[in-house]
Chain A
Amino acid sequence: MNDRDEVSQLLARVALRDARAFEALFNLAAGRLMAVAMRVTQDAAMAEDVLQEVFASIWNRSQSSAPGQNQTLAWLCVVTRHRAIDFLRRRKPEEPLYWCSESNQERMHDAPAEDASPMERLLMNEADARLAHCIGALEAAPRLALLLSFYEGLSHGEIARHMKKPLGTVKAWTRRSLMRLKDCLGALA
């Protein structure tokens, strides 16, 4: 059984208040979810606060999925990233994820990868190499816009300011990039 299957099973048991399953879920998923939260918050303490909220909401059932929604590790990652973005904006409402300092110096919550980049790690896994190939086939600027949104949680506006491109251009880039990814993956399937 891989991690994703195991997470689904554990989540089903956690829904029934199985404390042992909840601890097992934490042990299995916390490291990956911490990585997701860290990319957005750039702050270990804040990222752990995010994880605390995510796990508490799972236990308390306030983080419920829609009927029919697959509860997988990937779903947990999406939930965690959304929560991290909310957390950061709530904690520092005056400070966007991307901003310019008083000295006009560009600043962005942007954590460097600790070892291999996410793209390199994707390529290591043969099963995920298709996605890496398709992302690699995107043009550089739209790909950067998409990854800034996906990994760093930047809004369209923040990406536009960061890349010094019109907002409409960034929106079109991300939208078209996603559809091209879908087409590319479909063609490779």
Chain B
Amino acid sequence: MAVVRTRGLTKLFRKGQVGAVVDVSLESREGEFLVLLGPSGSGKTTLLRMIAGLEEPTSGEIWIGEKLVNDWTPRQRRIAMVFQSYALYPHLTVFGNIVFPLKAVRVPKEERRKKAEWAAGLLGIGRLLNRRPRELSGGERQRVALARAIVREPSLFLLDEPLSNLDAKLRASAREELEQFQKRIGTTTLYVTHDQVEAMAMGDRVAVMNHGSVRQIGTPAEVYDEPADTFVATFLGSPPMNLVETGTVTAGFRPEHFLPAGFLPPQERDLPLRFRVGHEEYLGAERILYGVVEGGPFDGRKVVSRIAATHAVRFAPDVVYDFAVAERNLKFFDPGSGMRTAPVHLQ
């Protein structure tokens, strides 16, 4: 087991800045499931590839355990990586794929077989050992890729969007399985995804990336409830946080916190807002209301409200209702930098 640490890690590409990484200092914890979350082109895969040794950093340091590994080949780093495409070796059987990392480090034949069977058993693919990758389903391929990754008992696990090639239904169950699996083997894991649901559900901590830098790192609850800047605030959550400029600050509140005045707990100090409902989206478990605030500090701003299906209140279009946000759920950001600032009293 090991922790991975980067210091001022930077990778610049000649062709534009898509996928570049700028000055990332990140440290995982022992046995942690750390998710790198960001939109495409935010540099999360590049960061992972640098840690794997597949991409050479422009500057900065990579430490694995207590070793500076910048000049080490991928082979020397003793890590395992699962690729988005799974990158199974098409000409080898499942067994051949799984033992390949062991062969590469010259494990004796008998031990190779034992370890491969152990890994295959752990992932429930024992009966597939003689098949070729092309004869497997997407979910089976993903398991083979995982078995190949764990068979060497690596010190560090790198996963690059391993669920994105699965269909939606399979993805949900694979997500849970993968998380349980990581807890059981307890290997420090770096997981790249652009899917916030995956990140929130699986991560011990989430590092939110944009334009090559880490905007915030914290537990799923921290990054969701206490976003460090407007990017994190709007990237997480669906629909995203309402951001309204008012005077010298930007105020933000989550749609699920913007509710009809009667729904808020009575003791809360809250900010009453008049809300003219525009249109409603019915999503089964919840309803999304789009509309405009009338009067008060947010006059004329478009906002969104998210109301759980358990609140069976009808809203008519173009009618003004009394809504409110609890003051503790209001977050404030600097309009210039987008960074979080101290709370301001609005009235």
Do A and B make up one complex? no
